[in-house]
Amino acid sequence: ALIEDVQLEKVPLNSIEVKLDKIGSVIRINQLRLSQRKGELVAGGWINLGEDNKNLDIHLSADNVDLSQLSNLFGIEEEIKGLTSFKAEVTGDIDLPNVSFSAKVEKGKFQDFIFDNLTFEALYNQDILEVKQFILDKEGHQIKGKGKIPYEFSFMGREKITPSLAEIPIDFILTLENTDLSFIKIFFPKDLKQVRGSTNAELEVSGTLNQPILNGSIVLTDGEVELFQFSTKINDLNIFLQLEDNLVKIKDTNFQIDQYKIYTSG
């Protein structure tokens, strides 16, 4: 079936093309194509919904798709903007799928945080999310991440087969290179009115979800923090922290509140 000039979940599309077959418990997606003015989303493969053999083999790809419209299509409430291209494959058991995913986003925005480019590549298998590459670039400054994180993912309920993730090892490295601290407003939108400052950090997370171990260092220079709850602004914030097996060592921290200069270490 081909439908032109249509709205799907209030998202305007130039056309939707669908070719499906159903044989027994197997639904075969011969073609699913959603076309926008400049981009398109394509999917194909099959899903077996049999009681004793629930599995799937689905591949998806997108080229220059508007992220704001894609997020509306999937009911995501947060403000997301940008153009994305991605490839994904989902195979295996529906309740324990194997997933490979790679994506690029250009001229992106998430809530109030604006960035130039995002590159992401990951594999998911047996409750382990392996981030092969995560690079977020803003004006030449980067946030990088790679490693393995225990994570639960399923298309359906996992109550009967969910294993404990508490003892699965974590192995993840996060690097910030001259990154503006404003990105943390994503995590504290109701607390932080304004935040900025150049941040360099390298953090290594190991151990398990039950007992994570954090090592690394964080350096912030020329920072500024303003909270919604307080009228006073923190200026000239400089921080140098070292983390050794979860022990935080304050090598040097100083900041100014009004006319007062405050120093701390320990």
The pLDDT mean for the chain works out to 85
The first and second tokens of residue 126, run together, are 């047996």
CA angle 97, 109, 179 (to 5 degrees): 95
Of 132, 84, 87, which Cα lies nearest the Cα of 104?
Answer: 84
Contact 133, 155 (CB under 8 A): no
The residue ranges of every structural domain in the chain are 1-110, 138-266
Confidence band for 36, pLDDT divided at 50, 70 and 90: confident
Residue 4 and residue 13: Cα distance in Å, rounded? Answer: 8
| 39 pLDDT higher than 80 | yes
> Which distant-in-sequence residues (6+ apart) come within 8 Å of 139 by Cβ?
116
- Residue-wise pLDDT tens digits, 202-220: 999 999 877 889 999 999 9
> Residue 110 CA to chain centroid, in angstroms?
10
Contact 130, 119 (CB under 8 A): no
